[in-house]
Amino acid sequence: MAGAALVGRRVSFVLNAIRRYKGSLSRQTVSWFRGLFPFWRAQRLAMDFRPSSAGCKQEVRPPPCPVCWGPCWWDGWRLVAQMVAGAEGLVVRLIEVSRHRARCQDATCPGRSWTIYEAGGYPCRTFVVAVAALALAALAVEVGATLTSVARRCRCDPRTVGRWQCWVAGLGDPTAFGRLCSRLSPDGFPPPRPDGMPLAGLLVLLLEHLAQLLRDQGVPLEPGPGLAALLRQQFDRFRAVSWLTRASPPLQVEAAMAGV
Ligand SMILES: [Zn+2]
């Protein structure tokens, strides 16, 4: 659970970057960004007490089978290493994160057995998605930020940050996400769309806004950055994985609104 708690903590380098920002963003836009990031901090308490299948297998049974919704059994576990966003803006490596598997009680169910990802976890990622979101946000709003400077903070290679940029830029059309925000917003206003904002950073911030609106409407999203929460929701509900280095399905955010 330590990793889960760390993911939601304050990431000061992003906040500091926004405070220092003297570029072309309007004051209204900057204040909008600043209004979003404290939301991540506010999630920390909720995340600390969030029930998770990882690390408490003796107390609870696994979630229902995602195929037939029948009861399941635990089916082994392993320890994995993760790079997570920790306190004070540092990216830290956790080496003993529990990751369990579950098996459907019905031996004939095609669901068979599957991995249950801990809070903040995502398939095939050592760097949790929250770290990618924070890196791209910093790259978008910090004066003088480069792939190298952001990579140094994230303890990764600059090429990794470049891959995150391409990956997030391909997740969807910012205009479509903006329209969704307008539909969900109580006042119907579109989110700010600053000129000159890199596409990946713009999408991170739009998805942050969108996730906040969805949470306000009662959609149960994981705490943390909107990008990570929406991707995780897509995976948990539809088993849709957004791969980093190969073609992926687009985000189906409209489907996430089902029942709103
Ligand atoms: Zn099943």
Centroid of ligand 1 to alpha carbon of 36 (angstroms): 39
Question: Among 27-31, 142-146, 149-153, 187-191, which is the least confidently predicted range?
Answer: 27-31
Three-class DSSP category at 22: coil
Predicted local confidence at residue 147, as pLDDT: 95
Centroid of ligand 1 to alpha carbon of 12 (angstroms): 43
Give the C-alpha distances (Å, rounded to integers) separating 119 from 86, 99, 102: 14, 10, 16
Of residues 122, 116, 153, the one with CA closest to residue 225: 122
pTM for the whole structure: 0.74
Between vectors from CA 138 to CA 137 and to CA 139, what angle results, nearest 5°? 90
Strand-pairing partners, residue 72, are 104
Of residues 165, 172, 157, the one with CA closest to residue 132: 165
Centroid of ligand 1 to alpha carbon of 59 (angstroms): 21
Predicted local confidence at residue 224, as pLDDT: 87
Residue 3 has pLDDT above 60, yes or no: no
**Residue scoring higher pLDDT (5 or 185):** 185
Between vectors from CA 19 to CA 154 and to CA 200, what angle results, nearest 5°? 50
pLDDT tens for each residue of 125-171: 999 999 999 999 889 888 889 999 999 989 999 999 999 999 999 88
Query: DSSP characters for 98-164?
Result: EEEEEEES-TT-TT-EEEEPPTT--TT-SB-HHHHHHHHHHHHHSTT--HHHHHHHHTS-HHHHHHH
Place of tokens 């479509």: 176
Q: How far apart are CA 90 and CA 67, in angstroms?
A: 38
Centroid of ligand 1 to alpha carbon of 79 (angstroms): 25
Predicted local confidence at residue 164, as pLDDT: 94
Q: How far apart are CA 73 and CA 145, in angstroms?
A: 47
Question: Among 50-64, 70-84, 87-101, 168-182, which is the least confidently predicted range?
Answer: 50-64
Q: 193 — alpha (psi -120 to 50), left (phi > 0) or beta?
A: beta
Of residues 197, 202, 215, the one with CA closest to residue 172: 202
159 exposed, middle or buried (CB, 10 Å; 0-12, 13-18, 19+)? Answer: exposed
Centroid of ligand 1 to alpha carbon of 134 (angstroms): 36
Q: What is the mean pLDDT of the chain?
A: 77
**Residue scoring higher pLDDT (188 or 154):** 154
Centroid of ligand 1 to alpha carbon of 118 (angstroms): 20
Centroid of ligand 1 to alpha carbon of 221 (angstroms): 23
Residue 87 amino acid letter: A
Centroid of ligand 1 to alpha carbon of 229 (angstroms): 25
Centroid of ligand 1 to alpha carbon of 109 (angstroms): 5
Predicted local confidence at residue 44, as pLDDT: 37
Percent of the chain residues past pLDDT 70, beyond the cut: 73
pLDDT tens for each residue of 195-204: 778 899 999 9
User: Taking residues 88-108, what's their average pLDDT?
Assistant: 87
Task: Write phi, then psi, for 194 (nearest 5 degrees).
Answer: -65, 140
